[in-house]
Amino acid sequence: VAPRLRTPEEAARRYAARDFSGTLSLLDELVRRAPDSPRWREMRAQALVDAKRFSESLDDYNAAQQQKGCRTRNVCSRGVRWHMRA
């Protein structure tokens, strides 16, 4: 039996339930499956911010900004840096 494919919808449900550990696990898998998609890195970065893992979120925001089709603006990463200083 093939392993069950995890979906973005499942990640969204876990995020809505504030299950950041589960959300991040799913998003890690999505990033591995589609490393050139900025969408998953953007989503993972936001989940990391909500989990108060600011340094890690910067890596994903910066990686997403380098990819074609990225919607993330520099304001996100600047905001995270501000939180880290506080």
pLDDT tens digits, one per residue of 31-76:
999 888 888 888 898 899 889 898 888 888 888 888 766 565 554 5
Give the confidence band of 18 by pLDDT, cuts at 50, 70, 90. very high
What pTM was estimated for this model as a whole? 0.74
Q: Is the Cβ–Cβ distance between 44 and 27 less than 8 Å?
A: yes
What was the pLDDT predicted at 25? Answer: 93
